[in-house]
Amino acid sequence: MSTDTIARDGPTDRSRDLSQPLDRLGPDETLKAGSDQLRGTISAGLEAELTAAVPGDDIKLMKFHGLYQQDDRDLRDERRRQRLEPAYRFMARVRLPGGVLSSSQWLKLDELGRAYASETLRLTTRQTFQLHRVHKKDLRAVIQGLHDVLLDTKAACGDDSRGVMASINPELSALHAEVYALAKQASEHAIPKTGAYREIWYGEERTLTDGPEEPLYGKTYMPRKFKIGFVIPPVNDIDVYAQDLGFIAIIEGRELKGFNIAIGGGMGRTDQAPKTYPRLASVIGFVPKDKVIATCDAVMMVQRDYGDRVDRGRARFKYTIDDKGLDFIKAEIEARLGFPLEPARPYDFTSNGDVIGWQRGEDGREHFTLFVENGRVSNFADIALLDGLRAIAQTHKGNFRVTPNQNLVIADIEPEDRPAIEALLLEYRLASLNKGSGLRLNSMACVAFPTCGLAMAESERYLPKLVEKIDAILAGHGLAQEPITIRMTGCPNGCARPYIAEIGLTGRAPGKYNLYLGGGFHGQRLNKMVLENVGEQAILELLGKVIEHFASERLPNERFGDFAIRVGHAAEVTEGRFFND
Ligand code: SRM
Ligand code: SF4
């Protein structure tokens, strides 16, 4: 198939960007276009018994099915020495809009995690679960197991609309229900419609469709991943400014009126590549709540049509906006909507963290937010977290909510059922997890080693130890309970959204990190790099100085990140595209 055919085979749209040279489209575009709508040779690759891997092209296509081929990086050198192929396994990412799941869904995930994923579940920064280390031969069993409880892994990765996020907000029960329903609808609406998933994983027959299999995506899907999130102020838990398309709920009285629209957020950057950068989303206007799905369509179409399909490194929506101009993109969105956006309405955020512990909703139901360090759910030497949560799910009649900070809410508990949940929290010593310092309870690390193929440094396995050392410094200045956000990633891709943390660390090499300071406490400001490619000693030395200064010179109630900016420990990032600019 010629590249010319590829570009023109998509759905008919009014303004595909014809300025991009068709003969230079990136190889991923050719791959998608020739994949028979994401079928490729995945089925055949699963049957090949001589290798634990799948063929190269199918690795990319399987991402659209929520599956990543990985290898155990702790074993890489040893296996190379032994002339064995790498220890290939797969990561399966569940699609769980808004992070809400029932007890029976929890129990199924627990069962699958124990049977196929090394007895561990991983809560993610986008409110879902990852099952790691699944053998190729077990992938169908995992996906069919998820299907039994109405879960799937569709579009959890790939160039499509990823997991849709929604605020947790336990105390605003009715609003949460309304916004969550919209997030679920948006997810359902925006995932690929191809029958490939049902055929490959559920063994269904291929059926013919009347029109195109992918009315929105065409043959080449999106230029790159596309992330949607819904937030209910005042808690910016989803980090709405990090979304490609963010919906900020506007509430008047107690009624949801609609949403301010924020576009073009993203974290990923590449070291020494200035053309890549994190960007905070720009708020461009307001839409009534019945226009949410139309807005998803309009914004996605603009990115589908204008996103860079030549250079994948510049293909995210944030770059499309900066290349074409915000006014141009807004006008294109309005043209597709068929009406102008109303002016953005006022709103306020206060934090982007979770309220840990018990909260009561307006409907009288109780919610318990459990701190899950870096989202890892396992039976640890001191605390049997996996067992404890299974025991809770066996009796809990409400739901669970995975938070955007990798924590877990045991939600919707009737007041008369609270004592039983409390007894289990006590029996398994889970409540003690909530007793961490202000820094620990606001910490987040990405997975990194040993499963992430892109990791350059440790993250999940290292941050808890580093926090212990920073905690000692904070305690020395009477700041042990001071809430400060700290986020670490094993590479600059930014999976734990480190560039909006008050303290951010991104891996450069084993034991080496860039240190960033000055992010806003409610995710409203990018931080700034203050040390590059340094080890633990340099990190602790600098933090020690800034913390000492903070303890003595902070203004009343001043946040650590704001202080770092005000006194010049981190100069304000002028290219950071603040919403208020
Ligand atoms: Fe991420 C790639 C893990 C949230 C930006 N991310 C990866 C991969 C799949 C590595 C790969 O491509 O081979 C990681 C798998 C590691 C593993 O072993 O599990 C990975 N990302 C994660 C998770 C699990 C981190 C976590 O510890 O929770 C998060 C899963 C979210 C989910 O449930 O869908 C995760 N990733 C994010 C976020 C945060 C967010 O979306 O709110 C970001 C920054 C926001 C953004 O997209 O800009 C993020 N991940 C990336 C990027 C950089 C994208 C870019 O535009 O440059 C990559 C690399 C890529 O896409 O090329 C990446
Ligand atoms: Fe992997 Fe980098 Fe994402 Fe961490 S930030 S999970 S190291 S891609």
Residue range 248-263, pLDDT digits in tens: 999 998 899 999 999 9
Q: What does the buried/exposed string (b/e) look like for 352-363 if buried means 16 or more CB atoms within 10 Å of the residue's CB?
A: bbbbbebbebee
* Straight-line distance from the first to the last Cα atom of the chain, in angstroms, rounded to the nearest whole number: 46
Question: What per-residue confidence (pLDDT) applies to 20?
Answer: 66
Question: What per-residue confidence (pLDDT) applies to 446?
Answer: 98
Q: Is the CB of 453 under 6 A from ligand 2?
A: no
Q: How many CB atoms lie within 10 A of CB 143?
A: 24
Mean pLDDT of 540-564: 97
Give the model's confidence band at 24: pLDDT under 50 very low, under 70 low, under 90 confident, else very high.
Answer: confident
Candidates 465, 460, 484; CA nearest to 551 is 484
In CATH, 357-435 is 3.90.480.10 = yes
Q: Looking at per-residue confidence, does 14 or 483 come out higher? A: 483
Contacts of 252 (CB under 8 A, 6+ apart): none
Fold category of 22-337 in CATH: Sulfite Reductase Hemoprotein; domain 1 (3.30.413)
Q: How many CB atoms lie within 10 A of CB 470?
A: 22
Residues β-bridged to residue 513: 507, 534
User: For residue 441, how far is its CA from the centre of ligand 1 (angstroms)?
Assistant: 21
User: For residue 448, how far is its CA from the centre of ligand 2 (angstroms)?
Assistant: 5
Q: Is the CB of 455 under 6 A from ligand 2?
A: yes
Measured distance CA(420)–CA(103) in Å, rounded? 15
Please tell me the CATH superfamily of domain 440-578, with its number.
Sulfite Reductase Hemoprotein, domain 1 (3.30.413.10)
Q: Is the CB of 448 under 6 A from ligand 2?
A: yes
Ligand 1 site-directed mutation target among 125, 403, 451, most atoms within 8 Å of CB: 125
Question: What per-residue confidence (pLDDT) applies to 432?
Answer: 96
CA 126, 130, 135 angle in degrees (round to 5)?
A: 155
Helices (H), 169-283: 173-190, 196-202
User: For residue 452, how far is its CA from the centre of ligand 2 (angstroms)?
Assistant: 6
Measured distance CA(413)–CA(401) in Å, rounded? 12
Specify the ligand 1 atom closest to the Cα of 404.
42
The radius of gyration of the chain from alpha carbons, rounded to an integer in Å, stands at: 23
Question: What per-residue confidence (pLDDT) applies to 14?
Answer: 44
Determine the residue type at 573: V
Determine the residue type at 186: A
Q: How many CB atoms lie within 10 A of CB 53?
A: 18
Q: Whose CA is nearest to atom 3 of ligand 2?
A: 495
Give the model's confidence band at 572: pLDDT under 50 very low, under 70 low, under 90 confident, else very high.
Answer: very low
Measured distance CA(386)–CA(367) in Å, rounded? 19
Determine the residue type at 288: P
Task: Tell me which residues are annotated as active site.
Answer: 93, 162, 225, 227, 446, 452, 491, 495
Question: What per-residue confidence (pLDDT) applies to 9?
Answer: 41
Mean pLDDT of 259-274: 94
Question: What per-residue confidence (pLDDT) applies to 6?
Answer: 38
Ligand 1 binding pocket, CB closer than 6 Å? 68, 70, 91, 93, 124-126, 128, 130, 156, 162-163, 227, 242, 266-268, 316, 375, 446-447, 451-454, 493-497
Question: What per-residue confidence (pLDDT) applies to 172?
Answer: 84
φ, ψ of residue 274 to 5 degrees: the values are -60, -20
Specify the ligand 1 atom closest to the Cα of 316.
56
Question: What per-residue confidence (pLDDT) applies to 16?
Answer: 58
Token pair for 437: 């310092």
Question: What per-residue confidence (pLDDT) applies to 13?
Answer: 46
- Answer whether 488's CB lies under 8 Å from 529's CB: no
Contacts of 193 (CB under 8 A, 6+ apart): 213, 214, 215, 216, 217
Q: Determine the 3-state secondary structure of 347 from DSSP.
A: coil
Specify the ligand 2 atom closest to the Cα of 455.
7
Ligand 1 site-directed mutation target among 109, 493, 497, most atoms within 8 Å of CB: 493
User: For residue 288, how far is its CA from the centre of ligand 1 (angstroms)?
Assistant: 31
User: For residue 538, how far is its CA from the centre of ligand 2 (angstroms)?
Assistant: 23
Q: Is the CB of 445 under 6 A from ligand 2?
A: no
Question: What per-residue confidence (pLDDT) applies to 71?
Answer: 94
Please write the tens of the pLDDT for every residue from 441-451. 999 999 999 99
Ranges in the chain annotated CATH 3.30.413.10: 22-337, 440-578
Give the model's confidence band at 272: pLDDT under 50 very low, under 70 low, under 90 confident, else very high.
Answer: confident
Contacts of 137 (CB under 8 A, 6+ apart): 46
Residues β-bridged to residue 342: 286
Q: Is the pLDDT of residue 454 over 60?
A: yes
Token pair for 395: 């009796």
Burial (Cβ within 10 Å: 0-12, 13-18, ≥19) of residue 116: buried
Question: Which of 112-116, 377-381, 404-408, 574-578 is predicted with the least confidence, judged by mean pLDDT?
Answer: 574-578
* Mean pLDDT across the chain: 93
Q: Is the pLDDT of residue 8 over 70?
A: no
Mean pLDDT of 63-80: 96
pTM above 0.85, yes or no: yes
The two beta strands, 228-231 and 165-166, are parallel
Token pair for 459: 């993250």
- The size of the chain, in residues, is 581
Give the model's confidence band at 18: pLDDT under 50 very low, under 70 low, under 90 confident, else very high.
Answer: low
Mean pLDDT of 450-456: 97
Report percent pLDDT > 70 for the chain: 94
Please write the tens of the pLDDT for every residue from 304-351. 999 999 999 999 999 999 999 999 999 999 999 999 999 999 999 999
Question: What per-residue confidence (pLDDT) applies to 247?
Answer: 98
Ranges in the chain annotated CATH 3.90.480.10: 357-435
Question: What per-residue confidence (pLDDT) applies to 273?
Answer: 87
Q: Checking phi first, is residue 239 left (phi over 0); if not, alpha (psi -120 to 50) or beta?
A: left
Mean pLDDT of 481-502: 97
Mean pLDDT of 532-555: 97
Measured distance CA(445)–CA(456) in Å, rounded? 14
Q: How many CB atoms lie within 10 A of CB 12?
A: 8
Q: Is the CB of 157 under 6 A from ligand 2?
A: no
User: For residue 34, how far is its CA from the centre of ligand 1 (angstroms)?
Assistant: 26
Report percent pLDDT > 90 for the chain: 90
Dihedral sign, CA of 334, 337, 340, 343? negative
Q: What does the buried/exposed string (b/e) look like for 248-264 if buried means 16 or more CB atoms within 10 Å of the residue's CB?
A: bbbbeeeebebbbbbbb
Q: Is the pLDDT of residue 571 over 80?
A: no
Token pair for 40: 């490729």
Specify the ligand 2 atom closest to the Cα of 457.
7
Q: Which ligand is nearest to the CA of 488?
A: 2
Please write the tens of the pLDDT for every residue from 188-223. 999 999 999 999 999 999 998 888 999 999 999 999
Question: What per-residue confidence (pLDDT) applies to 11?
Answer: 45
Q: Is the CB of 470 under 6 A from ligand 2?
A: no
Q: Is the pLDDT of residue 10 over 60?
A: no
User: For residue 365, how far is its CA from the centre of ligand 1 (angstroms)?
Assistant: 34
φ, ψ of residue 391 to 5 degrees: the values are -60, -40
